[in-house]
Structure 1
Amino acid sequence: MNITVRLAQQQEADELLGRSPLAALIGMLLDQQIPMEWAFSGPHTIAQRMRVDDLDAHDIAVHDPEAFVALLSAKPAVHRYPGSMAKRIQQLCQYLVDHYDGDPLALWRDVSTGRELLARLNALPGFGKQKSQIFLALLGKQYGVTPEGWREAAGPYGEAGSYRSVADITGPESLAKVRAYKQEAKRAAKQATSGPTTPGTTRS
């Protein structure tokens, strides 16, 4: 696999994401409660600190847990919550070892439908429905993984021409559009939760 992506907005980090499906999976796992480009630069930081050119699920799965937490926690930290994310990454890699002989490409190499691929992604540790749909959209839009019905399985994230998620980021301009969409969605959700206020009243 050798794909040109601009997810991390850093050349070396993006090059790793383009050639390593495991790096892409780990980046997606890290994409939670931190900026998207920070999350997707994480795999490259991990590879640097492990002193390897490419990430290997077997190596990460058997890495000493305390040492792996320290590796993610060293400044600059790979994530806002490096301890919990270190555990999740090792769980993800162990799952790949147990179910796919450590080869993340096997997740989608032989799938025939988008629904099947979504089910496989949803079974990964740390991947809920939304994260799985976003990663499925990323695979379809940027990695050339397009089983039958992949857009439908990815839900709104699979829509062509949308700017909803990391699946739609191809450079700084699209990153800004996706960030604006996320901020608006968050604002709308907050407004819906708080509900309307009547004149002359305040909410605590």
Structure 2
Amino acid sequence: MALHLATTDEGNTLLERDPLALLLGMLLDQQITMEKAFTSPSVLAQRMGTDHLDAETIAALPPDTLLEHFRTPPALHRFPGSMAARAQQLCQAVVDEWDGDAASLWTGVDSGSELVRRIAGLPGFGDQKARIFAALLAKQFGVTPPGWEEATGDYGKPGHRSIADVVDDDSRVKVREYKKAKKAQQSEQG
């Protein structure tokens, strides 16, 4: 599998082999570009001097230390303070609820609705983000519990609706166009 979510090969490689990096990329995917969000976990790992991200280590970091990792130029997110805190909360939840193993959220899950429920229960994830992440897991990582298509709604359908559908540069452009059209439609309605 060759991911195309991050802007660097190192970023994509980390996402492929590190479930926590993938989860953090999805957490950060708001109010910044998709590519920036999914590249930031590899930059965080570099700044922490490691080749993988560990939920227990991040959860235990002094908040000021994690904030410095997020804030150092180029910042990992447009809002480094709030996103560093949210990332730390997410890692603490992974430690407390999933024994520090992000993949255990989706490993052996019985149904698509259970998968979406588990993800939506994480700090920084609501229903829509959970459905997108579940669709990403299904479409690009083969995590397809029974009923995943129904549980992910439109994000589980073929097309170019979200990061779950980005498999190359062309699909990234199509997802961006879809999001832009959706935003314009919402502006006209509201």
- Tell me the TM-score normalized by structure 1: 0.92
2:18 alignment counterpart: 20
Structure number with higher helix proportion: 2
1:55 alignment counterpart: 53
Counterparts of 1:128-167 in structure 2, within 5 Å, are 128-160=126-158, 162-167=159-164
- Asked if the contact 1:9–1:171 (Cα under 8 Å) also holds between the matched residues in 2, the reply is no
Once the two structures are superposed, residues 57-98 of structure 1 have per-residue CA deviations (whole angstroms, 9 ceiling, x without a partner) of 000000110111011000000000000000000000000100
Q: CA deviation at 1:109?
A: 1.1
- Asked if the contact 1:114–1:149 (Cα under 8 Å) also holds between the matched residues in 2, the reply is yes
- Asked if the contact 2:26–2:37 (Cα under 8 Å) also holds between the matched residues in 1, the reply is yes
Q: CA deviation at 1:29?
A: 0.2
Identify unmatched segments of 5+ residues in structure 1. 194-204
1:169 alignment counterpart: 166
| 4+ residue segments displaced more than 2 Å | none
Q: CA deviation at 1:20?
A: 0.6
Aligned with 2:101 (options 100, 103, 113): 103
1:188 alignment counterpart: 185
Once the two structures are superposed, residues 98-139 of structure 1 have per-residue CA deviations (whole angstroms, 9 ceiling, x without a partner) of 011100111011211000111100100000001000000000
**Number of equivalent positions:** 190
- Tell me the TM-score normalized by structure 2: 0.99
Paired AA for residue 165 in structure 2: D
Paired AA for residue 187 in structure 1: A
Work out the CA distance in 2 between the residues paired with 1:106 and 1:175.
28
Aligned with 1:41 (options 20, 39, 45): 39
Paired AA for residue 40 in structure 2: G
Paired AA for residue 24 in structure 1: L
Q: CA RMSD in A?
A: 0.7
Paired AA for residue 46 in structure 1: L
Paired AA for residue 21 in structure 2: A
Counterparts of 1:52-131 in structure 2, within 5 Å, are 52-131=50-129
Identify unmatched segments of 5+ residues in structure 2. none
Larger Rg: 1
Paired AA for residue 12 in structure 2: D
